[in-house]
Amino acid sequence: MTHEPVLLAEVLEFLRTSLHGIAEPRIVDGTLGLGGYSESILEGLPGARVLGVDRDPMAIALSERRLERFASRFRAVHGGFGGIGALVREDAPFDALVFDLGVSNMQLSEAERGFSFQHDGPLDMRMDPHGDAPTAAEVLEEKSAEELARIFWEYGGERYSRRIASRIESERRRGRRLATTGDLVALIRGLLPAPVQRKMGIHPARRVFQALRIFVNDELAELESMLESLPGLAAEGCVVVIVSYHSLEDRIVKHRFRAWEKEEKRGKVLTRHPILPQEEETARNFKARSAKLRVFVFS
Ligand SMILES: C[S@@+](CC[C@H](N)C(=O)[O-])C[C@H]1O[C@@H](n2cnc3c(N)ncnc32)[C@H](O)[C@@H]1O
């Protein structure tokens, strides 16, 4: 199981510069995933102590194994970063808070997690399969056509949101359930005319899948609530590093950083414009193509 970390060199460079002179920096990796960032931080900053957070219990188990050799320099905590204030409070304050939002390749490539339109599996999409969130199948089963259309449009920017939502509702009336990712892909493929699908330039189900994933995991509210907590966890000079993968997330980060700087006078935005991956990285790693890195430093 692998996940190639995105913008890793750039993230490490910001950490190295900002943590220069701190012998044992305390760092939160708020989206541990497979531990790619954490491993490079622990290797690259020999005094660093990392506290990893992830809401996916599989990610926690895998990275605990991967990072075992760092012994007491690394610890993992299970939970959503929306509640990070309470999750890591005992170890605060921190010198760096790092977040690499979205899903990992591990989640995307495991068919039974239901995130991928490329692998057939149950329509699940919960990052924490033991949590209270409804599965994607339950959302499609229970929400009205109007609500589904809103979800597809707001979180996926899907132009055909109404058409897709009303087809889902009419299928439901006929007693047909969408139970698998394949069922949903087939419905979308069967609905959109072939020339439209060709013109989309992306997989025709990509936007609906993104929208459902954001809704199921309440991703934007988690992000807002995490940002709200960060000032309370930051040591003086703490650097906040966030990589986002779509404009909804990036906008929230950008506005919050700006408010911290201009209105609340908490510190300084270090990235006037977001940092994007080099062409060489996007050619090697498809997931990197939409990544944006923003950095803030608390004074
Ligand atoms: C892009 S991956 C991180 C990959 C990691 N940087 C690496 O190099 O292996 C994002 C991770 O964040 C986790 N995640 C997403 N939203 C979360 C949230 N609200 N709370 C906690 N973890 C979250 C996902 O479960 C996933 O494992």
Strand order, beta sheet including 26-29: 74-78, 49-54, 26-29, 94-100, 234-244, 292-298, 267-269
Helices in 174-296 by DSSP H: which ranges?
A: 181-191, 194-200, 206-216, 219-229, 247-262, 279-284
Give the whole-angstrom CA distance, residue 51 versus residue 28. Answer: 5
Among 32, 63, 106, 228, residue to substitute to test ligand 1 (most atoms within 8 Å of Cβ): 32
User: Measured in angstroms, how far is the CA atom of residue 31 from the centroid of ligand 1?
Assistant: 4
pLDDT score at 201:
79
For 47-99, write each residue's pLDDT tens digit: 999 999 999 999 999 999 999 999 999 999 999 999 999 999 999 999 999 99
Q: Return the sign of the alpha-carbon dihedral for residues 167, 168, 172, 175.
A: positive
**Amino acid sitting at position 38:** S
Among 54, 98, 246, residue to substitute to test ligand 1 (most atoms within 8 Å of Cβ): 54
- Residue closest by Cα to atom 8 of ligand 1: 36
According to DSSP, the β-strands at 292-298 and 94-100 are unpaired
CATH superfamily of 8-106+219-298: Vaccinia Virus protein VP39 (3.40.50.150)
- Specify the ligand 1 atom closest to the Cα of 29: 6
Pick the more confident residue, 193 or 121.
121
Q: Name the one residue in this structure whose structure tokens are 């996926």.
A: 156
**Whether residue 25 has pLDDT greater than 90:** yes
User: Measured in angstroms, how far is the CA atom of residue 133 from the centroid of ligand 1?
Assistant: 17
**Whether residue 1 has pLDDT greater than 80:** no
Of 101, 99, 98, 102, the residue nearest 48 (C-alpha): 98
User: Measured in angstroms, how far is the CA atom of residue 287 from the centroid of ligand 1?
Assistant: 14
Share of the chain above pLDDT 70, in %: 100
pLDDT score at 193:
85
My answer on whether omega of the bond before 93 falls inside 30° of 0, hence cis, is yes
pLDDT score at 194:
87
- Residue closest by Cα to atom 12 of ligand 1: 31
State the CATH class of domain 134-216: mainly alpha
Helix, strand, or coil (residue 221): helix
User: Measured in angstroms, how far is the CA atom of residue 167 from the centroid of ligand 1?
Assistant: 33
**Whether residue 196 has pLDDT greater than 90:** no
User: Measured in angstroms, how far is the CA atom of residue 178 from the centroid of ligand 1?
Assistant: 27
pLDDT score at 55:
98
Nearest 5°: phi and psi at 11?
A: -60, -45
Give the whole-angstrom CA distance, residue 68 versus residue 100. Answer: 21
Helix, strand, or coil (residue 281): helix
Residue ranges per domain, the chain? 8-106+219-298, 134-216
Task: Identify the residues whose C-beta falls under 6 Å from ligand 1.
Answer: 3, 5, 31, 33-37, 53-56, 59, 80-82, 100, 102-104, 127, 222
Q: Return the sign of the alpha-carbon dihedral for residues 138, 140, 146, 152.
A: positive
200 pLDDT tier (thresholds 50, 70, 90) = confident
Segments of the chain assigned E as strands: 26-29, 49-54, 74-78, 94-100, 234-244, 267-269, 292-298
Average pLDDT in the 281-288 region? 93
Q: Name the one residue in this structure whose structure tokens are 């491993």.
A: 39
- Specify the ligand 1 atom closest to the Cα of 243: 1
- Residue closest by Cα to atom 20 of ligand 1: 80
Q: How confident is the prediction for the chain on average, in pLDDT? A: 96
User: Measured in angstroms, how far is the CA atom of residue 51 from the centroid of ligand 1?
Assistant: 13
- Specify the ligand 1 atom closest to the Cα of 82: 19
Give the whole-angstrom CA distance, residue 160 versus residue 231. Answer: 40
Segments of 59-118 assigned E as strands: 74-78, 94-100
CA-to-CA dists, residue 234 to 80, 229, 264, 267, angstroms: 18, 9, 15, 11
Share of the chain above pLDDT 90, in %: 94
For 247-276, write each residue's pLDDT tens digit: 999 999 999 999 999 999 999 999 999 999
195 pLDDT tier (thresholds 50, 70, 90) = confident
Read off the pTM: 0.96
Helix, strand, or coil (residue 297): strand
**Whether residue 2 has pLDDT greater than 80:** no
For 109-163, write each residue's pLDDT tens digit: 999 999 999 999 999 999 999 999 999 999 999 999 999 999 999 999 999 999 9
* HSE toward the beta carbon, residue 157, CA cutoff 13 A: 6
* Contacts of residue 212, Cβ cutoff 8 Å, sequence gap at least 6: 125, 136, 139, 140, 151, 155, 156
User: Measured in angstroms, how far is the CA atom of residue 225 from the centroid of ligand 1?
Assistant: 16
